[in-house]
Amino acid sequence: MRKVFSRTRNCETYMENIKRSRINHVSSEISDEIVADDLELIRSCFQCGTCTGSCPSGRRTALRTRSVIRKALLGIDQVLDDPDIWLCSTCYTCFERCPRKVPVTDIIIKLRNLATQKGRILTPHKALTHLLIDTGHGVPINEKKWSDLRESYDLNPLPPTVHSSPKAVKEIQTLVNSLEFDKLVEYKPPEKDSKKEESKKEESLKSADEKPMRKSRKIMVKK
Amino acid sequence: MSHEEVIPPEYSFYLGCVIPNRYPFVEQATRNVMNELGVRLKDMEGASCCPAPGVFRSFDIPTWLTIGARNVSIAEENKADIMTMCNGCYGTLLEVNHQLTHDEQKRTFVNEQLKKIDRKFAGSVKVKHLAEVLYKDLGINTIRDAVTRTLGGLKCAVHYGCHLTKPSEIRPWDGECEDPKFFDELVEVLGCESVAYRDKQMCCGAGGGVRSAIKEVSLDFTRHKLEMMREAGAECIVVMCPFCMLQLDLGQIEVNGIFKDEISGPFAFPVFYYTQLLGLAMGMHPNELGLIKRHDLKGVPPYVNQEPLLTQIFQKLGYDYKQLQKQSVKAVS
């Protein structure tokens, strides 16, 4: 039976030649995490740069995919703090073109998971996760005009999704809670009435004191 | 042979987020066109966000897998394969379904979670994109036969979108992702011309959480694509993904603003979802295809005005846009 990423499995014979002992000196906590997630072909990267050359984001930003992969393999922690890993639009062009079948895009996604665990999730992204937990949709109907728009095209004001089923929203919340995703993205359930106002005040005081650790770095857009 | 009863093809209709909640006319057009083609669509009651592969998968893979599996389990209850209209949803649901069918460890993990909400992932359905349903399941010849009038050589810039063809290994296009042809063929059977433009397979820029967090970068992708489409003489853009649609539609207005001094002039390409044009070529009424605006809501799609181009197209088909609009507003009120 073909396993998850058959592209990784197809290369088993030559993977045998890339023995752990041979590349032990470049193994790191980060690369171990990546390898543990079925992405062991990161070790076969020979730094040719096809990924960087194919990258539509790298053409206009500081993202250098080849360098991201190298840093991940060498375990240079800074790669997780680097905002560049969030510039990938996950178009999978590098993934398709890599002559060594390195699943580049999936590795970047894995790095983002590790970065999120370090609290490096970007603020707008965190807000999106809260929408998902509150409504079950990443892009919900949160204004009347959206249900009015549906009606103008002869559709029910709410689609037959989580929007029509409070039970379904509960199911999402149960899963999110059980997987501790809510903790990961610092989600707090909406509180009721008077309590809400107070906690809002506290919140704003808090956030004034605790500035996020993230370095602000301007992203270059080439002209 | 002739005694065999023809069972109409049936799919679990996965809506996602952007289509039902922002671009509902795509939902309307697709429901009506599929009905006309004799395809039965079963709603997926209580389905959630897929969850989006660029954002939610980037934050926590186990959560992404589990919520994705919950959506698949709804289709399993429906006993019908999934049909999605969105490349992002396709990316998630196909990958989740593939991983969980092939990896017992992951499946066990996910099913332990799903048990808490009385659900189970069994791996009994397939995940298909609308493009696959049209081109392969029904077949391009069926589409060709369903077309009753031509759209008069309308010059279309076809935008595939990344996750429709990539990663190619688990998709039905025989590994082709650098120069696929199926979408162009689907557009050309309508009597349209699919114009060749540079960097056609390039990303629109919206994915991977780039639009939501670093919008200027995502719009620079879009700016480039729009310039290439203009250079090739396109009259409109045709998509099969609502997130690409949003980026190319609303994105045009945004590009016209922030890149004002760098572009060769403001862009005004109407963006159509494929089923809207397909329905028109099948002889369906524009009102069934979400092509007539009959509301006065502000700040809603389509953001680029479609009226001038539609007026031209409609003239060839014997409709009058203004008159249709008047009639349909009356009919609604």
The secondary structure of B108-148 as a DSSP string is HHHHHHHHTTT--------EEEHHHIIIIIIIHHHHHHH--
Is A12 part of the contact surface with chain B (CB cutoff 8 Å)?
Answer: no
User: Is A132 in Cβ contact with B56 (below 8 Å)?
Assistant: yes
Which of A92, A125, A136 is facing B209, going by the closest CB pair?
A125
User: Is B102 in Cβ contact with A1 (below 8 Å)?
Assistant: yes
In the CATH scheme, what architecture does the domain A24-120 have?
Orthogonal Bundle (1.10)
Note the pLDDT of residue A220: 38
Please check whether the domain covering B144-332 is classified as CATH 3.30.1330.90: no
Give long-range contacts, CB 8 A cutoff, 24+ apart: A169-173: A169/A135, A169/A136, A171/B46, A171/B70, A171/B117, A171/B119, A172/A132, A172/A133, A172/A136, A172/B48, A172/B67, A172/B70, A173/A133
* Local structure of residue B299 (DSSP, 8 states): S
- Please, which pLDDT band fits residue B26 given cuts at 50, 70 and 90? very high
pLDDT tens-digit profile of A157-178?
A: 999 999 999 999 999 999 999 9
Which of B18, B56, B208 is facing A88, going by the closest CB pair?
B208
- When the pLDDT of each residue in chain B is averaged and rounded to a whole number, the result is 96
Share above pLDDT 90 across residues of chain A, in percent, rounded to a whole number: 63
pTM of the model: 0.90
- The one-letter code for the residue type at B82 is I
Chain B positions touching A34 (Cβ under 8 A) are: none
CATH number attached to the domain at B10-129: 1.20.1050.140
What is the average pLDDT across A111-117? Answer: 96
Note the pLDDT of residue A169: 98
Token pair belonging to B56: 């939610």
Q: Would the pLDDT of A211 be above 70? A: no
Q: Would the pLDDT of B218 be above 60? A: yes
Domain spans of chain B?
Answer: 10-129, 144-332
What is the average pLDDT across B134-156? Answer: 97
pLDDT tens-digit profile of B3-15?
A: 667 788 999 999 9
ipTM of this predicted structure: 0.96
Alpha-carbon torsion, ordered A31, A35, A36, A38, to 10 deg: 150
Share above pLDDT 90 across residues of chain B, in percent, rounded to a whole number: 95
Q: Which among B25, B174, B203 is the top mutation candidate for probing chain A, defined by the most A β-carbons within 10 Å of its own β-carbon?
A: B203
- When the pLDDT of each residue in chain A is averaged and rounded to a whole number, the result is 82
Note the pLDDT of residue A54: 98
Going by DSSP bridges, is the β-strand pair B155-159/B127-129 parallel, antiparallel, or unpaired?
unpaired
Q: What is the CA radius of gyration of chain B?
A: 20
Note the pLDDT of residue B1: 47
Chain B positions touching A161 (Cβ under 8 A) are: 15, 20, 44, 46-48
Q: Would the pLDDT of A3 be above 80? A: no
Q: How many angstroms separate the CA of residue A13 from the nearest CA in chain B?
A: 19
The residue of chain B nearest to residue A155, with distances taken between CA atoms, is B28
Domain spans of chain A?
Answer: 24-120, 122-191
- Please, which pLDDT band fits residue B333 given cuts at 50, 70 and 90? low
Share above pLDDT 70 across residues of chain A, in percent, rounded to a whole number: 74
Note the pLDDT of residue B332: 58
| CA distance linking residue A176 with residue B183, whole number of Å | 37
Token pair belonging to B23: 């671009």
- Please, which pLDDT band fits residue B275 given cuts at 50, 70 and 90? very high
- Please, which pLDDT band fits residue A19 given cuts at 50, 70 and 90? low
- Please, which pLDDT band fits residue A27 given cuts at 50, 70 and 90? low
Q: Would the pLDDT of A221 be above 50? A: no
pLDDT tens-digit profile of B159-184?
A: 999 999 999 999 999 999 999 999 99
Note the pLDDT of residue A75: 84
Chain A positions touching B332 (Cβ under 8 A) are: 152
Which of B62, B205, B209 is facing A86, going by the closest CB pair?
B209
User: Is B54 in Cβ contact with A138 (below 8 Å)?
Assistant: no
Q: What is the largest CA-CA distance in chain A?
A: 65
Q: Would the pLDDT of A22 be above 70? A: no
What is the average pLDDT across B278-291? Answer: 97
* Local structure of residue A174 (DSSP, 8 states): H
Q: Would the pLDDT of A212 be above 90? A: no
